[in-house]
Amino acid sequence: MSIGYAQSNISAQIQQLEQELNTKLLDRIGKKVFLTESGEQLLPYAIEMRALASTIRDKLDNDHLSHSRIVVGASESLCVFKLPAIVESFRRSHPNNELHLELIENAQVVEQLTSNAIDVAFTIGNSIEHPAITSFLKKREEVLVLSAPTHPLQSKKALAITDFANQPFLLTSTSCNYRETFECDLKSHGIPYQVTLESGSVQVIKKMTISGLGLCVLPRLAVQDELNADLLATLPYKNDYKVYSQLFCHASKWLSPNLADFIDPIIKSI
């Protein structure tokens, strides 16, 4: 009983197949068995079908180790300052996995995850809490007001919000949460200010600030290098802006092994 079926089953199965195909597959002439014309024709298809089934199993099983496509939605700052190391490491451990990076803003997280346009979101901004969205990581990010080290305001020991009156600011796009937060702060105190430059690129803002064009408001993670190199300096303005970097998936999303492999290191490393 090497193939795991009773003999009677084989008879029955063959007869069933013959009925279903409305033909005869085997001729039993004497003690020998011959394939009929129909049987001869069926054989290659049967083999093909078995092969196809095996292929499916192989592809889907191996696939957990090999190819897949993960779409990451991330905000610009994180793309520049956090993701490179993560992506590099993931690509090393999962060389056959396609990683697609989509630039999104904090406000789009829920919609993008709900529409399944992205598999995972990694953004910085206001806290997001949503019943349908799972947050794997929520890290408070320090928001700094910065200038070139030579800026006149650097001489002050401490700054109040009023000290920013009429200062020229280099800010990120309006939809950016920490700009929003900062502007609220100014406006709620009735402080006038100028927006000298508005750019979606953190890199541009930093360069211009270094050149002394004005002040900027950025999370520490985006400026750590420049602080270390004394290209930028923080201004001693105390704030408690609630800004977080967060990592999300849709709650109903199945975490494929590959996706889990992408997410886990982020959670652990931060």
Partner DNA sequence: TCGGTACGATCGAAATTTTCGATTATTATG
Partner DNA sequence: CATAATAATCGAAAATTTCGATCGTACCGA
d(CA 217, CA 171): 7
Beta strands in 65-183 (DSSP E): 68-74, 97-103, 120-125, 133-140, 143-147, 168-171
Residue with tokens 């989509």, as numbered in its chain = 102
> In degrees, to the nearest 5, what angle opens at C-alpha 140 toward C-alphas 139 and 143?
140
Comparison of 111 and 225: residue with beta carbon closer to DNA: 111
Please report whether residue 132 would count as binding DNA according to CB under 7 A.
yes
Residue 5 found at the interface with DNA (CB under 7 A): yes
Binding track, positions 207-246, relative to DNA; x by CB under 7 A: ----------------------------------------
CB of 26 to DNA, least distance (A): 7
Question: Which CB, 28 or 238, lies closer to DNA?
Answer: 28
Give, for 186, the enclosing helix (H) or strand (E): helix 177-188
Stated as kind and residue range, the H or E segment containing 114 is helix 109-114
Instruction: Read off the tokens for 253.
Output: 């999303």
Instruction: Please identify, using beta-carbon distances, which residue of 29 and 60 lies nearer to DNA.
Output: 29
Among 55, 201, 211, 252, binds DNA (CB under 7 A): 252
* Shortest distance, position 136 Cβ to its own copies, whole Å: 17
CB of 233 to DNA, least distance (A): 45
Beta-ladder partners of 79: none
Single out the residue of 127, 128, 136, 124 nearest to residue 111, CA to CA.
128
CA distance 187 to 189: 5
Site string for DNA, 15-44 (x = CB under 7 A): xx---------x-xxxxxx-----------
Which of its own copies, DNA, none binds 41 (CB below 5-8 Å, type-dependent)?
its own copies
* Secondary structure class of 32 (helix, strand, coil): strand
- Residues in the site for its own copies, rule: CB under 8 A? 21-24, 27-30, 32, 34, 36-38, 41-42, 45, 48-49, 52-53, 55-57, 59-61, 63-64, 68-69, 113-116, 132, 250, 252-254, 256, 258
